[in-house]
Amino acid sequence: MKINTIVLFLFVSSLYACFDDKGNYDYQKVTEITIENIPEVIEVLGNSDHIIVKPKVISSLEGEILEDNVNFKFEYKIEIKDGVTKSGQKWINLNPLGTLNLDTLATFAADTYAGWFIVTDKRSGVQASTIFDIKVSSPTYEGWMVLCNEGEQERVRMDMIAVISAERVIPAYDILTPLGLPELKYARGIGFYPNLFSNPADVIYVMSEEGTFKLDKETFKTNVSWNINSVDFIISPVNENVVCYTSVNNETTSRALACICVTNVGNAYAQVFGASGAAFEHAINTSERGSSPKYKVAPYIGVSMARPGNGSSALLYDEDNKRFVGWKYGNDDDITQTLTPVADTENSLFSFKTGMELVYMESTRYSGGLVYSILQDAGGKRYIYGINMSNNGFVQEAKYEDLNAPDFDKATLFAFHSQFPYMFYAVGNKVYLHNLGTNTTYPVNNIALGENETVTMLKFNLYRQCSLKDLNNQSEEFMARQYELMVGSYNAATPDNNGGRLGFYPVDGVNNSVTKRIEYSGFAKIKDVVYRERR
């Protein structure tokens, strides 16, 4: 496209001091500048794509003006566009180096912007300019939310593997900084509750030791006023922050019965939908609603992950008394606002009052809704208990002891599969697969990490949509993603803070092995990964 620009100003050369009687005058010619090769619209993905412009600038006196021509000045500016007019906001300089060509990361929130390219002849002051649209789309619509801790200060940062289409899947980094997330340290996890109903709408939380903040479900925008203590609590907790959050599936509908959270001081809260207020109120780690907490609970919540939900209960762990405690849905508000110790039954596999430390707990779909717990006794020996959460109960299903699992006592990262009786665990830069059925451990040697790398996360991301209607039309390939082992690792030798990698590994349930499907890099230290589902 060729853009003819009217010369903004004609500078008339000064008259010679002397001229003859015939009135001869001598004028200096002034250049006319035209700009070509700038598209009317540039479409980019925010925090992922670069805004690239390569204009052709032509002077009527000198021909094409190249990058190294010191007589010309080049500027690129941007502002939010309001219809077809300028919004009145201050223009932002896109090109501090003043180069002819523009190549800069689109670090802007999703919106339509007006871009402005200006050329100035520094000798005469003559200018030419053209305005074009920049449409920035959001990388947050769908894809993998990757929560990280960045650098020695452990700054909370969210990256994303944006799924733009089946053919275009690309990473976007530090997406929440321009969207208002306060400066936080020590990420703990992502709270995510996708809901088919409009009330409550989809819920996304960024959880950290220094605060938990809700994100706008469409734009991911947030700010200090979106602290969970302010937006989802009737009585705001004091000096405690939510670090664990999950939903309890309903048996018959696609909306959850409730959401439960645990704070960093060991208090648990229940948000029961359909009840008055539908917000978190008093701590539920007590025997009487509204009374002060009686014990601390561990930052884990076990629920049935079967879809649609076939359980209306949740499993938590009392750290002070070293026992399992349970939550059940009921018509009585007082019942849903308290936890109850889980009672032992006759001929049980183990006692729910374990007397041990809880190391880890994970909810799965295995066996219709099995929750695995890893416990450790005073001597350092570890056990695995399987408690089935289907049919609104707490049924003891499995107990694994005397595990043939090298370095299992040193492991801090675990993941349990929902289709096979497999537990994965990591020690340093090594990942192991333990077959619970055969009590055999297999080093996963094809998850190859360097000597400066450390595993920072193991996880399976089970889709949370309860309604099969919404997932029926998905491809088998898409549905299989939730059963791939996700391995987050970090290379400490990386000179910047972007040494994180995330690999996806389909699991072979016959040969006790995994294979790498794909890997992405450029992250910080990965703490949690959740797939951002869409309705």
Residue-by-residue DSSP string for 27-66: ------EEEE---SEEEEETTTSEEEE--EEEETTTEEEP
Burial 54-78 (b: 16+ CB within 10 A, else e): ebebbbeeeeebeeebeebebbbbb
pLDDT at residue 89, as a whole number = 58
Sign of the four-CA dihedral 324, 325, 329, 331:
positive
Among 3-7, 418-422, 473-477, 492-496, name the one with the lowest average pLDDT.
Answer: 3-7
pLDDT digits (tens, 9 = 90+) for 437-450: 999 999 999 999 99
356 closest CA partner among 298, 410, 437, 293: 298
Task: Please give, one letter per residue, the 3-state secondary structure of 13-36.
Answer: CCCCCCCCCCCCCCCCCCCCEEEE
Cβ atoms 317, 299 nearer than 8 A: no
Pairing of strands 41-45, 127-137: parallel
Lowest mean pLDDT among 183-197, 251-265, 521-535: 251-265
User: Which phi and psi (to 5°) does residue 336 adopt?
Assistant: -75, 0
CATH of 2-137, one of 3.30.470.10, 2.60.40.10, 3.90.1170.30, 3.65.10.10: 2.60.40.10
Q: Where are the domains of the chain?
A: 2-137, 150-231
Residue 517: what pLDDT? 96
Answer yes or no: is pLDDT of 460 > 90: yes
Residue pLDDT, tens place only, 110-166: 888 999 999 999 999 999 999 999 998 888 888 999 999 999 999 999 999 998 877
Judge contact between 26 and 58, C-beta under 8 A. no
> pLDDT (tens digit, 9 = 90+) per residue, 318-376?
999 999 999 998 777 778 899 999 999 888 999 999 999 999 999 999 998 999 999 99
Which pLDDT score, from 0 to 100, does residue 527 have? 98
Which residues neighbour 238 within 8 Å (Cβ) at sequence distance 6 or greater?
Answer: none
3-state secondary structure of 398: strand
pLDDT of residue 191: 96
pLDDT, position 8: 32
Considering the entire predicted model, what is its pTM? 0.81
Over range 377-391, report the average pLDDT: 95
Tell me the C-alpha distance between 345 and 113, whole Å: 65
